[in-house]
Amino acid sequence: MDYVQRRENKVVFYAPNIEKYGDIYHTPVFYNPLMEKNRTLSVLLLKALGVSGLTVCEPLAGTGVRGVRYAVETGLVNRLILGDVSSKAVELIRKNLELNGIDGEVYNEDANVLLHRLERTCDVVDIDPFGSPAPYMQAAFRAVREEGVICATATDTAVLVGRYWRKCLRRYGSLVKKTPFYIELGIRNLLGYIARVAASEDFAIYPLLSYWESHYFRTCVAVVGGARDADDMFNKLGYVEYRDRYRNVRRYPNSYTSGPLWIAELGNPLTVHKMANYGPHSEFLRLLEEEYVIEVPWFFRLPEFAVNGRSPTLKEALARLAEAGIYATRTHMASDGIKAEGNYGDLMRIFL
């Protein structure tokens, strides 16, 4: 195997030489350098939560760099558990732990088997697969403790936004239709699925961080146990009706709806504010903080408000909404998008 030494922030580690193997999909151990931001934001989240003595499990660890970064950069990890079904990955994980002077438990086994065996022992479970996290979510909720955190990455974005609706129905139990705000729909689809799995284990979830970037969705949720909390959480699930540019949240589906989806908050503004104070990606995190203040689904794209073929600019739109007393902000999900405390009709009357 041909490995090279790489660095992410404070961590030095060995990863496959991608140039030799042609691309990241043919390497003996999977490592995607484009996910460095994902890993950095995960570290910042743990730092923002500020809880020490954590048991952290990454059951699909690959090179182990995410887990090593959790341990080295937060100083909050007491027990680090890394697993991978690949024996080559396990060999590399051990090498990277040693390189960084970190103690960790390394297991060469299926992720679901490992998670089920760790029942109720983990403070943080991070599911970062190649593709969908759906096959691992039930086991993740078996492994996590009361008041723990579960993080999940999904790279099957086309499925989550409904491009392959049959596969979406099979994998996530939701029916999703084409909309201009499909990115937010994908995030809420993923959260809705995680919430339903949580409820089946008598857990409720509270999103801390949810976002989209290029080729993946990412969410981290706080987990609270109890059947009553799980029952109450169903008030945060519903359907979005999209017809003639109008969006309406509904409790029950019809021929114009997508769902079931998460229709409440996407993240915690205070948590993201704390994350931004640590420096890396602060501009992005400040934008998420602004977005999370608005719990109302969904975002609007400015061409939806074009008059005589001209759309308002972002600056114009935000200024006119502020003058009308409607709080609005940019969104990370589209360069020509805004989120606002108002419906399509409210906004259209302002822009006419």
Residue 70 lies in a domain: yes
3-state DSSP call for residue 138? Answer: helix
Are residues 285 and 320 located together in one domain of the fold? no
Q: Which of 254, 57, 206, 204 is nearest to 136 (CA)?
A: 57
Q: Give dist(CA 225, CA 114) in Å, integer.
A: 21
- Cis before residue 260, ω within 30 degrees of 0? yes
Q: Is residue 259 part of a domain?
A: yes
**Confidence (pLDDT) at 295:** 84
Between residues 108 and 280, the one the model is more confident about:
108
- For the residues 267-284, what does the mean pLDDT come to? 96
Hunting for tokens 């732990």 — which residue is that? 97
The pTM for the full model equals 0.96
The H helix count followed by the E strand count for the chain is 14, 15
* pLDDT tens sequence across 141-155: 999 999 999 999 999
Name residue 328's amino acid: A
Q: Is residue 49 domain-shared with residue 147, that is, in the same domain?
A: yes
Give residue for tokens 């995607």: 32
Assess whether 138 and 57 both reside in one domain.
Answer: yes
pLDDT number for residue 337 = 96
Instruction: Give 6-46 pLDDT, tens digit per residue.
Output: 999 999 999 999 988 888 888 999 999 999 999 999 999 99
pLDDT band at 244 (very low <50, low <70, confident <90, very high): confident
Q: What is the pLDDT of residues 79-117, one digit of tens each?
A: 999 999 999 999 999 999 999 999 999 999 999 999 999
Whether 130 and 151 share a structural domain: yes
Whether residues 170 and 311 fall in one domain: no
Asked whether residue 294 is domain-assigned, the answer is: no
Question: What's the CATH code of the domain at 62?
Answer: 3.40.50.150
Domain with 221, as residue range(s), is 3-289
Give the residue from 263, 289, 315 where a domain finishes.
289
CA dihedral 56, 61, 63, 68 (to 10 degrees): -10
User: Could you give the number of structural domains in the chain?
Assistant: 2
- Residue 137 sits in the same domain as residue 277: yes
Q: What gap in Å lies between CA 45 and CA 198, rounded to an integer? A: 21
Domain containing residue 327: CATH number: 3.30.56.70
Cα–Cα distances in Å, from 11 out to 39, 254, 268, 317?
Answer: 12, 51, 28, 43
Residue 179 structure tokens: 């909309």
- pLDDT tens-digit readout, 39-49: 999 999 999 99
Do both 217 and 323 map to the same domain? no
User: Are residues 131 and 151 located together in one domain of the fold?
Assistant: yes
The DSSP output letter for 312 is P
